[in-house]
A and B are shown apart, each in its own frame.
Chain A
Amino acid sequence: MSKKILILSQSYLESTTDQVCQWMDYLKIPYLRLNGEDFFRFQQLSDLPDNTETAVVWYRRKIAHFPAEFSLKQPDFNSQYTMKRFLVDEFNGLHSFLFHSIDAQKWLNDPLSEKNLNKLQVLQLARRLNILTPFTEVVTTKTKIMALLEQYPALIVKPLSECILLEDTERRAYKMLTSTIDQKSLGAVPETFFPSLVQERIVKKFEIRTFYLDGVCYSMAIFSQNNRKTTDDFRNYDNHRPNRTVPYKLPADLEHKLDQLMKILRFRTGSIDLMVDMQGNYHFLEINPEGQFGMVSHPCNYYLEKKFARLLHQSVLHEKEIHQQPENKENAAPATVFSEAE
Chain B
Amino acid sequence: MEYLNIYANCQLVKGANMSLLCDLQMRRFYHLPNDTAEVLLFLQQYSIDECIAHYGEDNREAIAGYVDFFVSRELGFIDDRILPELTAMELTWDRFADITNVVIEYQETIDYTGSFFRELLDQHLEGLEIRFYQPVALPELRELLALFSDSTLRHIKLVLPYEKSLNIAALDELVKKHQRVKSLLVHSSPEEKLEKIFSNSVPVYYFTGKINSCMACGEIRAHHFTVNTELFTESLRFNSCLNRKLSIDQQGYIKNCPSMRENYGHVADTSLQAVLDNKTFNRYNHIRKDDIAVCKDCEFRHVCTDCRAYIENPQDIYSKPLKCGYNPYTNNWEEWAQHPMKQAAIEWYGMAEIIK
Contact = CB atoms under 8 A, between A and B. Distances in A.
A301 B152 contact: no
B275 to A, nearest CB: 17
A178 B229 CA distance: 32
A246 B86 contact: yes
Interface in A195-245: 221, 223, 226, 241-242, 244-245
A226 B74 contact: yes
Contacts of A242: 25-26
Interface in B7-44: 7-9, 25-26
Contacts of A298: 229
Contacts, number: 65
A254 to B, nearest CB: 10
Interface stretch (B88-96, B182-190, B281-289): B88-96
A39 B188 CA distance: 52
A247 B92 contact: no
B92 to A, nearest CB: 7
Contact of A244 (B74, B84, B87): B74
Given A241-B74, A248-B86, A248-B87, A303 B92 contact: yes
B124 interface: yes
Contacts of A342: 152
A301 B87 contact: no
B213 interface: no
A165 B273 CA distance: 48
A249 B87 contact: yes
Interface in A236-278: 241-242, 244-251
Given A26-B96, A342-B152, A247 B25 contact: no
A246 B74 CA distance: 13
Interface in A163-219: none
B349 to A, nearest CB: 36
B124 A221 contact: no
B90 A302 contact: yes
Interface of A: 18-19, 22-23, 25-27, 221, 223, 226, 241-242, 244-251, 298-303, 306, 342
Given A246-B86, A306-B96, 13 more contacts: A22-B96, A22-B152, A26-B97, A27-B96, A223-B7, A245-B9, A246-B89, A247-B8, A247-B90, A298-B229, A301-B92, A301-B229, A306-B94
